[in-house]
Amino acid sequence: MNTPQVKGLFLSGGQSQRMGQDKSLLCYRGHETEIERWKRHFDELGLPFHWSQRPHQYPATLFPSITRLIDQNPGAGPLGALITAHQHDPEAAWLVLACDWPLLEGTDVARLLQARHPDFPVTVAMHQDRRQPLFALYEPVFLAQAAVAWQAGEQSLNRLLQAAVAWEVSGWEAERFLNANDPDARAQVEAWVRR
């Protein structure tokens, strides 16, 4: 049996109400936005990259070279976006990455990929003894089960992940998971990048 191809899914379909501006379009390193930075990292890793977004969230002229995946379940959170990705390509394993963690690097994605165990439904980063649903590699078997749960009314990716059999990857630097969700956290990230 062939190992499923990995595709990247960058989640940016939230409202960014606390930050007050779109987090995927922020620049922490020069003039490169977060969406551009992650597209570059996935290109360097040789992985297809998809930008998950709400319908009409961005003009078509914005970064036209980046493949968009329009969330068919807007407002339903990360699980809705992941279900959309699975419906787009049910044979793929989807590596999910949120726009909230600007201190994660391409090397972190490479490490998660290297740690991948395709026989496990999920390979997931651990931080503070918790599985991180927005930095995880979901195999098709997990996604098929998640789609069934979704149809039955489940809307929490975190709940499904915590109940799943998963290969856990620990030992990350703590700052990688600094959640940049508001201006104060953004300032912390900017100070860290300048170090």
In this predicted model, what pLDDT tens digit does every residue of 80-101 receive, in sequence order?
999 999 999 999 999 999 988 9
What whole-number distance in Å separates Cα of residue 179 and Cα of residue 145?
A: 29
In this predicted model, what pLDDT tens digit does every residue of 49-72 receive, in sequence order?
999 998 888 888 899 999 999 988
Burial pattern 10-42, b for ≥16 Cβ within 10 A else e, equals: bbbbbebeebeebbbbbebeeeebbbbbbbebb
Q: Which residue has the higher pLDDT, 123 or 174?
A: 123
Instruction: Tell which phi-psi region holds residue 7, choosing left (phi > 0), alpha (psi between -120 and 50) or beta.
Output: beta
Helix (H) or strand (E) holding 72: none
Lowest mean pLDDT among 70-79, 157-166, 173-182, 183-192: 183-192
User: What domains appear along the chain, each with residue ranges and CATH number?
Assistant: 6-194 (3.90.550.10)
**Tokens describing residue 98:** 């949120």
What whole-number distance in Å separates Cα of residue 134 and Cα of residue 126?
A: 11
Please, are residues 127 and 177 in contact by the beta-carbon 8 Å criterion?
Answer: yes
Q: Please report the pLDDT score of residue 105 as a whole number.
A: 95
Mean pLDDT score of the chain, rounded to an integer? Answer: 91
Residue 15: pLDDT band with limits 50, 70, 90: low
pTM of this prediction? 0.93
Q: Please report the pLDDT score of residue 100 as a whole number.
A: 87
Q: What are the residue ranges of helices labelled H in 22-156?
A: 34-45, 77-88, 106-114, 140-151
Strand partners, 50: 9, 67
The answer to whether residue 16 scores a pLDDT higher than 60 is no
What backbone phi and psi angles, to 5 degrees, belong to 70?
A: -80, 120
Largest CA distance in the chain: 48
**Tokens describing residue 165:** 């059999």
What whole-number distance in Å separates Cα of residue 107 and Cα of residue 110?
A: 5
